[in-house]
């Protein structure tokens, strides 16, 4: 029996630091779910530091990676900071294939990302 897909769940968590927001993404980040992630990230980037906790991403395609890279680009363009925390193995694999690890700040967990 085929495994059921897990829809992307995106939550904003309180951060212990002022001007910092942690966004947690859990599930599949693909063409069908990128708008959900963008809807949460876009209003936040440009306002301090945004940390995307990606430990729970179970699948990522090129559209999902593009959404993350666009958030990073938008934050930089506005003089803000975007950090990727604990990217899951599927996300790291896509990032490696695309050469994206060189253009985004990656941290082993959300605490390290908050500390910068």
The tens digit of pLDDT for each residue in 1-24 reads 455 667 899 999 867 677 899 999
Residue 22: the pLDDT is 95
Give the list of residues 6+ apart from residue 10 with CB closer than 8 angstroms, or none: 23, 24, 25, 26, 36, 37, 39, 40
According to the model, what pLDDT value does residue 46 have? Answer: 85
Cβ atoms 23, 36 nearer than 8 A: no
Task: Write down the CATH number for the domain with range 9-115.
Answer: 3.30.750.24
Half-sphere CA count of 107, side-chain side, radius 13 A: 16
Per the listing, tokens 């699948």 go with 59
pTM for the predicted model, two decimal places:
0.92
Beta bridge partners of 21: 50
């Amino acid at each position: 029996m085929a495994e059921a897909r897990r829809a992307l769940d995106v939550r904003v968590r309180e951060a212990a630091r002022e001007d910092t927001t942690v966004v947690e993404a859990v599930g599949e980040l693909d063409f069908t779910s990128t708008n959900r992630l963008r809807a949460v990230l876009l209003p936040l980037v440009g306002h301090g530091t945004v940390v995307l906790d990606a430990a729970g991403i179970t699948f990522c395609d090129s559209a999902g990676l593009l959404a993350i890279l666009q958030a990073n680009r938008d934050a930089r363009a506005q003089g803000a900071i975007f950090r990727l925390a604990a990217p899951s193995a599927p996300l790291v694999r896509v990032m490696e294939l695309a050469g994206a690890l060189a253009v985004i700040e990656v941290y082993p967990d959300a605490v390290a990302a908050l500390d910068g």
